[in-house]
Amino acid sequence: MHSSIAPRLTSKLPNVGTTIFTVMSKLASEVGAINLSQGFPGFDCSPELVGLVETYMRKGFNQYAPMTGVPALREALAQKTFEQYKVAYNPDTEITVTSGATEAIFAAIASVVRPGDEVIVLEPAYDSYVPAIELNGGVPVYVTLTPPQYAVDWEVVRQKITAKTRMVLVNTPHNPTGYTWTTDDLNQLAELIRDRPIWLMSDEVYEHILFDGRTHHSLMTHPELQERTFVVGSFGKTFHITGWKIGYCLAPAELTTEFRKIHQYLTFSTVTPIQYALADYLQNPTHYQQLPDFYQRKRDVFLDGLKGSRFTCTPAEGSFFQTVSYKAITDESDYELAIRLTKEIRVAAIPVSVFYHQKNDYKILRFCFAKDDAILQEAAERLSRL
């Protein structure tokens, strides 16, 4: 007879539930709401890119890619990065293709963080950062960014740095607020970490989505920061292919060596025909050079639609998200309001409190404007009735 007692699994991530993106997208689809919650484009990627993937599949590029990524794609990334930022990464030793930025973020954190190490997290923060720190035994140390500016208070960061600080996580342009780093931010960070054993993970997945003439100040453009930074990118945001889950990490050789040890056993390698297709597609920079105008127009369609409403906001500086304050409308928590708006007026958004570890509720919702204009106009019209 079977008499043993089944062991109970103790979660390593006891506070983690289903991500808000899944929760809101599911609710939106159940009630037939316009889904401006989870961040993904509501339009398709280029048929040319699809054609390239098909071509490579038909040519038989269907087996494992090299662990580090196919050479043509690493070379195309090196060339693009040099043209854009004037920083040379060696495709053989400093560029790794990953299965989305999410994998690269995890591997970068795992490369550095050991049990007891502290990691500075500027919050609101993208939801994959803290679980990656905790699974590696690290301790998140939070610095709070507040509306309406969400700028980094460098004095607070200074106070949070200790002998145990091992990493600082950066995200510019920022999800969910759209805040984009300035050269002053880069200088302040460099000064704080100088002479300390601190590394950086810079999540730059929205590098091509900046508005009103702003420039993306990648951490790689500051030589002192570049030496210590894992720069993470994603093709998902740039080419409207979030479902393909393909990204990359640029980092100096010593960092990349460690990063690849982890990447090798997380996923080993990334989908082959898509890598070849992207290597070709990257040869034409207009594909991403047109993104700022394309998304700025969409941001403005949404903002124009909200003009007569009681929502207030500062136009997003970058990313494809707009945060909006509803203070003048209701006292409800942002979570309650997000659920109610989805069910009653059929527009889904993300409550920004979910990006803070203590669920700070500043009465702000995040809307994704990577949607067709007619959808944005209809959503704004519904929101204006509140």
| 178 touches ligand PMP by CB under 6 A | no
Binders of ligand PMP: how many residues, by CB under 6 A? 14
For residue 353, the one-letter residue type is S
Q: Which of 34, 35, 39, 97 binds ligand GLN (CB under 6 A)?
A: 39
> Where in 156-185 is the site for ligand GLN (CB under 6 A)?
175
Q: Which of 16, 19, 31, 215 binds ligand GLN (CB under 6 A)?
A: 19
CA distances to 113, 164, 179, 249, 268 from 135, rounded to whole Å, are 10, 17, 28, 20, 20
b or e along 207-227 (b: 16 or more beta carbons within 10 Å of the residue's beta carbon)? bbbbbeeeebbbbbbbeebbe
Query: Least distance (Å) from ligand PMP to the CB of residue 105?
Result: 6
Strand-pair partners of 167: 119, 199
Query: Which of 43-51, 57-65, 96-104, 355-363 is the region at the interface with ligand PMP (rule: CB under 6 A)?
Result: 96-104
Residue in 200, 206, 194 with CA at minimum distance from that of residue 229:
200
How far is the C-alpha of 238 from the C-alpha of 248, rounded, in Å?
13
For residue 321, the one-letter residue type is F
Q: Which of 35, 38, 99, 269 binds ligand GLN (CB under 6 A)?
A: 38
Instruction: List the single partner that 19 binds among ligand GLN, ligand PMP, none, CB under 5 to 8 Å by kind.
Output: ligand GLN
For ligand GLN, the closer CB: 39 or 173? 39
Tell me the residue number closest to ligand PMP, measured at CB: 100
Instruction: List the single partner that 178 binds among ligand GLN, ligand PMP, none, CB under 5 to 8 Å by kind.
Output: none
Tell me the per-residue interface mask from 203 to 222 with ligand GLN, x by CB under 6 A, - otherwise.
Answer: --------------------
Query: Least distance (Å) from ligand PMP to the CB of residue 140?
Result: 16
How far is the C-alpha of 192 from the C-alpha of 190, rounded, in Å?
5
| 203 touches ligand PMP by CB under 6 A | yes
Q: Which of 234, 270, 342, 353 binds ligand PMP (CB under 6 A)?
A: 234
| 205 touches ligand PMP by CB under 6 A | yes
For ligand PMP, the closer CB: 38 or 136? 38
Rg (alpha carbons) of the chain, rounded to whole number: 21
SS3 177: coil
| 247 touches ligand PMP by CB under 6 A | yes
How would you classify residue 100: left for phi > 0, otherwise alpha for psi between -120 and 50, otherwise beta? Answer: left
For ligand GLN, the closer CB: 175 or 353? 175
| 171 touches ligand PMP by CB under 6 A | yes
How far is the C-alpha of 97 from the C-alpha of 264, rounded, in Å?
11
Strands (E), 163-308: 165-171, 199-203, 229-234, 247-250
The H-assigned helical ranges of 99-180 are 100-112, 129-135, 154-160
Residue in 217, 352, 377 with CA at minimum distance from that of residue 297:
377
| 100 touches ligand PMP by CB under 6 A | yes
Give the binding site for ligand GLN (CB under 6 A): 19, 21, 38-39, 175
Give the binding site for ligand PMP (CB under 6 A): 39, 100-102, 126, 171, 175, 203, 205, 234, 236, 242, 245, 247
